[in-house]
Amino acid sequence: MSDNLLEINNLNISFTTFAGTVQAVRGVSLDLKKGETLALVGESGSGKSVICRSIMGLLAKNAQIDSGEILFQGDNLLAKSNKDMRHVRGKKISMIFQNPMTSLNPTMTIGYQVSEALLLHEKVRKSAARKRAVELLELVGIPDAGRRLNDYPHQFSGGQRQRIVTAIALACNPEILIADEPTTALDVTIQAQILELLKDLQRKVSTSIIFITHDLGVVANVADRVAVVYGGKIVEIGLVDEIFYHPQHPYTWGLLRSMPTTDTDDEELYAIPGSPPNLLDPPSGDLFAARNPYALTADIHVEPPMFQVSPTHWAATWLLDPRSPKVALPPAIAARHQYFQERRKNAAQQPILSGGVR
C-alpha cells in the first residue's frame, strides 16, 4: 500500500436527466496524502462537488458511477454497501457544506447536533458525549460553549454556525475532512477566521483536507496541492507554488488573470470568454477549446492527455506537446513564471531555505 490515504482512479460519473445523460465526471484520478490539504478549483458545474459527494457516497439517485474506484486506506468505497458506508461517513470521512444556514437542523439544539455523531459512532454515554461536544465547540472557538449547548442554530451568527458545522465534522476525529466551499457565504473577516481555524485544527489533529472553492485567494492561503477542474476533468494538478507561479493550462491562466487584486488599475478586467461547457453532449476534443484563445487545431479534434511538467505537476494541454508551436504568455502569467524561475534559483543557492523566499 502506498502512502496515499485516498486514491481515486479513473472515476466516471454520469447523471440521467430528462434531457439526456450528463457526463459530470470524466476520468478523474486523484490522490490525497496524510495531513495535506488538496484544493479542488473550478467553476460551478465543473464537477468538483460531484467528485466529493461520490467519496462520501452521497450522490443523488439519478447518478451512476460508470467506472473507476475510490480507495480509502486500500478499501474500495464504491464497492461498500450502504450499511458499511455508514461507518465511514461522519467517522472516517466527514464533510462541511457550503451553506451553514441550511446544514444545521433548526429544530434541534446544537448540543444534540454535535454529540449526535459521537453517540452514533462511538460507544459513549450521553453525558460523555455532551462533555466532548463542549470541548469541540471550544476547539472551534465558540465562546462560553458549555452554556450554549441548549441554544438553537438561529441564535448564532453565520460565522459561528459554520464553526458549529466544523465541530460536528470533527467530532469523530475523521481521517479526511471534505470542505465544500465552506467560506463562500461568509464575509472576508469571518472567512479569514474559518481558514485559520481549519489550518490550526489540521496542525493539532493532522486531518487531511479536501477543500473545494472557486476563490483562488483562499486556495493560495490553505492548499498544499491544487487540482484545477474543468468540464468534469482535472486539467491541471500540482503543488500550490507550481499552480500559482508556473501554471501551464490556459484555463488556469484565465482563472488567475480574472482575479482582481486590489492594485489592479482601471484597464479592462480579464474575463474568460463564453460560458462553461454543456456536459449533456460534450463535443469531441478539448472542452475548453471554444473559450481558449490559445487553442490549437489539435485541441478541436483530440482531447489532450496529461503532460508531466515536474514530478508533482501535470497539465492537460497540447501546448506542452513538443510538436506544438511556442506561444507568447499573457504578461501577468509571464511575470508569474519569471518569479518561479527566480525563486527556484534562490532556493538552489540556499538549500536550507526551501519554501518561502524571505
Q: Which residues bind another protein (CB under 8 A)?
A: 43-45, 157-158, 187-192, 195-196, 214-221, 240-241, 244-245, 254-256, 258-265, 268-272, 275-276, 332, 335-336, 339, 343, 356-358
Which residue, 192 or 205, is less far from another protein as judged by CB?
192
Q: Is 182 helix (H, G, I), strand (E, B) or coil?
A: coil
- In the complex, the smallest distance separating the C-beta of residue 149 from another protein, rounded to whole angstroms, is 23
Which residue, 33 or 214, is less far from another protein as judged by CB?
214
The sign of the dihedral angle between the CA atoms of 176, 181, 182, 183 is positive
Which residue, 47 or 57, is less far from another protein as judged by CB?
47
Q: What are 272's three cell numbers?
A: 474568460
- In the complex, the smallest distance separating the C-beta of residue 335 from another protein, rounded to whole angstroms, is 5
Distance CA 213, CA 255 (A): 12
Which residue, 149 or 186, is less far from another protein as judged by CB?
186
The sign of the dihedral angle between the CA atoms of 79, 85, 88, 90 is positive
- In the complex, the smallest distance separating the C-beta of residue 162 from another protein, rounded to whole angstroms, is 12
- In the complex, the smallest distance separating the C-beta of residue 246 from another protein, rounded to whole angstroms, is 12
- How does strand 176-180 pair with strand 208-213? parallel
Distance CA 303, CA 238 (A): 20
Which residue, 94 or 213, is less far from another protein as judged by CB?
213
- In the complex, the smallest distance separating the C-beta of residue 61 from another protein, rounded to whole angstroms, is 20
- In the complex, the smallest distance separating the C-beta of residue 260 from another protein, rounded to whole angstroms, is 4
Chain centre distance of CA 92: 18
Which residue, 88 or 164, is less far from another protein as judged by CB?
164
What separation, in Å, do the N-terminal and C-terminal C-alpha atoms of the chain show?
Answer: 38
Q: How big is the CA angle at 224 (ends 218 and 227), to the nearest 5 degrees? A: 75
Q: Is 311 helix (H, G, I), strand (E, B) or coil?
A: coil
- In the complex, the smallest distance separating the C-beta of residue 195 from another protein, rounded to whole angstroms, is 8
For the chain, what is the total number of helices (H) and then of strands (E)? 12, 12
- In the complex, the smallest distance separating the C-beta of residue 210 from another protein, rounded to whole angstroms, is 18
Q: Where are the alpha helices (DSSP H) in the chain?
A: 48-56, 82-88, 110-121, 126-139, 145-148, 158-170, 188-205, 216-222, 240-245, 250-257, 297-301, 331-349
Which residue, 245 or 318, is less far from another protein as judged by CB?
245
Which residue, 276 or 282, is less far from another protein as judged by CB?
276
